[in-house]
Amino acid sequence: MNSKTFFAAALTIVIAATAGTANANADGAKVFKKKCGVCHGFEKHKMGPSLAGIIGRKAGTSDFKKYKAFKGGSDIVWDEKNLDAWITNQKDFLKAKGIKKKSSMKAKIKKEEDRKAIIAYLKGK
121 binds ligand HEC (CB under 6 A): no
CA-nearest of 24, 8, 39 to 113 is 24
Binding-site size for ligand HEC (CB under 6 A) equals 28
120 binds ligand HEC (CB under 6 A): no
- 93 exposed, middle or buried (CB, 10 Å; 0-12, 13-18, 19+)? buried
Q: How far apart are CA 87 and CA 10, in angstroms?
A: 39
Query: Cβ of 86: how many Cβ atoms within 10 Å?
Result: 22
Min CB(6)–ligand HEC separation in Å: 43
Q: Of these, 23, 79, 104, 111, which contacts ligand HEC (CB under 6 A)?
A: 104
Closest to ligand HEC by CB, 20 or 73: 73
Q: What is the CA radius of gyration of the chain?
A: 19
99 binds ligand HEC (CB under 6 A): no
The window from 1-9, 15-23, 106-114 that contacts ligand HEC (CB under 6 A) reads: 106-114
67 binds ligand HEC (CB under 6 A): yes
List Cα–Cα distances, 46 to 25, 50, 92, in angstroms: 25, 7, 24
Which residues in this chain contact ligand HEC in the complex, by CB under 6 A? 35-36, 38-40, 47-49, 51, 54, 59-60, 62, 67-70, 78, 83, 86-87, 103-107, 109, 118
